[in-house]
Amino acid sequence: MKRVLLISLLAASLAGCSTLNSTVGSVGSLWNSWFGSDKAKPAALETLSGPATGRIVWSAQGDDISFALSIATPGDRFVVASSDGTVRALAAADGRELWRGAAGGKLLAGVGSDGRFSAVVNRDNELVVLDAGRVAWKKALPTPVVAAPLVAGERVFALTLDRQVLAFDVLDGRKIWELRRPGEPLTLAKAGVVLAYKDTLVVGQGPRLAGVDPLNGSLRWEASVATPRGTNEVERLADLVGPAARQGELICARAFQSAVGCVNAERGSALWNRVVGGTNGIGADDQIVVAGDASDRLSAWRLANGDLAWSADQFQHRKLSEAVVLGKQILIGDYEGQVHLVDRDSGKTRSRLATDGSKIIAIALLGDTALVATKRGGLFAVKAE
């Protein structure tokens, strides 16, 4: 028998026959070490005197965003969604709306897109695929999904909360295959890792990245990002969380509260990892990997070997988003809607941009433009100076 327990503070799901009382008891003792105390005072914003190093080139407004939004970046457009089920494609150059569609209900996950087809998951746990804004088909999923589906190679791939992988035909919704593997005792109700590398589907399976044949669902390789440690299942929880970052042959990801590491997807082998806490995804370019830890200390490691390049503590307890690397700067958002532009090579803050005052939910990069999404539904396109 299988049961799922949602722990609201942890946003984690428990599957299997683990003892509820011992798990809940562990949650209380680990809360402060994982997420910091609710009473921790956010670092004050620095006084900056230099010139602006970025600007907002266009903005748009949608409904609020109360799910783990992933912004898709196919071709020359951003594809975004709101909690109410509205899905839109916006031209990256000027924010012009290319199409708009309705998924027919509030959303749990999204968006994945190849430019024509876009996929989301609604609160009825249905996979909904839109063709240029028009609903093409819906399909009920067996277990909850919080990660944005991946649309690639005329297929739609869904990664469920228990890390089952399902593949559907993008045209008619026919299920092509499913991959079930022995599950972890605990999995996070937080967006996992699912992306493409050449002709391989790469998914997070516990603390490991797995390379899967997208045609038939067979396993090609597996490589660990972290080695779980602890005396109980809660302490050993080390699920990979998105977004991950791909740079050439390397895919880098965060294992929840355990490590940041990179895998060579061509060889299917681990390259390096570094023990560091944290709950959000990571950013990278061809030089560095960057991420915040549990107290929002920002660190950068050299992509090639994992050596620490720098650490910066000016954003502690500001509830940072994932980071993106835009040219020679790192963009990262906080709980007050501030977008901080940080020097890629030193970690020093160069300037900041204000949005609408609500928490930054997601940042995505397309060419020389980063799109920032806020909890109130604001969309702000940023270019570096």
- Looking at domain 4-384, its CATH superfamily turns out to be YVTN repeat-like/Quinoprotein amine dehydrogenase (2.130.10.10)
pTM above 0.95, yes or no: no
Query: pLDDT digits over 224-277, tens only?
Result: 999 888 778 887 888 999 999 999 999 999 999 899 999 999 999 999 999 999
pLDDT at 90: 98
**Spatial distance between the Cα atoms of 86 and 347, rounded to a whole number of angstroms:** 37
pLDDT at 183: 62
Query: pLDDT digits over 134-178, tens only?
Result: 999 999 999 999 999 999 999 999 999 988 999 999 999 999 999
The share of the chain scoring above pLDDT 90, in percent, equals 81
**If we measure between CA atoms, which residue out of 242, 313, 232 comes closest to residue 30?**
232
**Per-residue pLDDT band at 210 (split at 50, 70, 90):** very high
**Per-residue pLDDT band at 189 (split at 50, 70, 90):** confident
Average pLDDT, the chain: 89
